[in-house]
Amino acid sequence: MRFLAGVRIFWDRHWLEIVLALVFAAIMDSLRVGSLARTGIRHIKNRIAEHSVKRLRERIQVLERYKSVLEKYLSSDKALYLAALRIVIGILLCMCVGEMLLIFGTFKGLPRLAPLNEAAQALFVAYSVVFFAIGIIIVMHGARITSLDSQTKISETFAKVEGEISELTAKLDAKK
């Protein structure tokens, strides 16, 4: 009982640090090629898809599309570089729009022509935060894609996806 009281006191004092540590650990894990979180999510999606033929077909189609993207990356480095460039452009766009909205949020407006009240300024700041958050999501997606930086990593991922497709196809054939 004393142990639980100690845990409760520790949680009350350090809950924010614990939550932030878990969030950052999840982010760092998702950036790896063999991410445990992504592998677990893929496994859960495959398990859910096993319950119906329609879901199995849809899941196989999703994996086939991902397999074709990996084939493009295997055939030429140019496809991976262009994907990374698109991600960088998306990040820059989100940063520029977010900064522009942040500037408008601090801008008082033209006093006689178009004054901005505090609510409008706060709305601009809120929208800028949204664009910065979208930029962070794009960064995480870009880190996942660019983690496939060598042909061996792409080949390993390709083999895993191909194995999942054949496993789900076998389950689909068994259901018919």
Number of domains in the chain: 1
Within-domain flag for 76: yes
The pLDDT score that the predictor gives to residue 26 is 73
Within-domain flag for 105: yes
pLDDT category of residue 120 using cuts at 50, 70 and 90: confident
pLDDT above 90 for 92: yes
Domain that holds residue 123: 32-175
The pLDDT score that the predictor gives to residue 110 is 61
Within-domain flag for 3: no
Within-domain flag for 109: yes
Q: How far apart are CA 140 and CA 34, in angstroms?
A: 15
The pLDDT score that the predictor gives to residue 55 is 84
DSSP line for 40-81:
HHHHHHHHHHTT-HHHHHHHHHHHHHHHHHHHHHHH-HHHHH
60 Cβ neighbours under 8 A, 6+ residues apart? 165, 168, 169, 172
pLDDT category of residue 105 using cuts at 50, 70 and 90: confident
Q: Tokens 């960064």, residue? A: 139
Paired with 114 in beta bridges are 110
Within-domain flag for 2: no
Within-domain flag for 77: yes
Within-domain flag for 23: no
* Interval 45-85: pLDDT, tens: 878 877 788 888 888 899 999 999 889 888 888 888 888 89
pLDDT category of residue 9 using cuts at 50, 70 and 90: confident
Within-domain flag for 166: yes
Mean pLDDT of 124-133: 90
Q: How far apart are CA 173 and CA 176, in angstroms?
A: 5
- Whether the model clears a pTM of 0.75, i.e. scores above it, the answer is no
Phi, psi torsion values for 148, nearest 5 degrees: -85, 60
Mean pLDDT of 129-133: 92
One-letter amino acid for residue 54 of the chain: K
CB atoms under 10 Å from CB of 1, counted, come to: 5
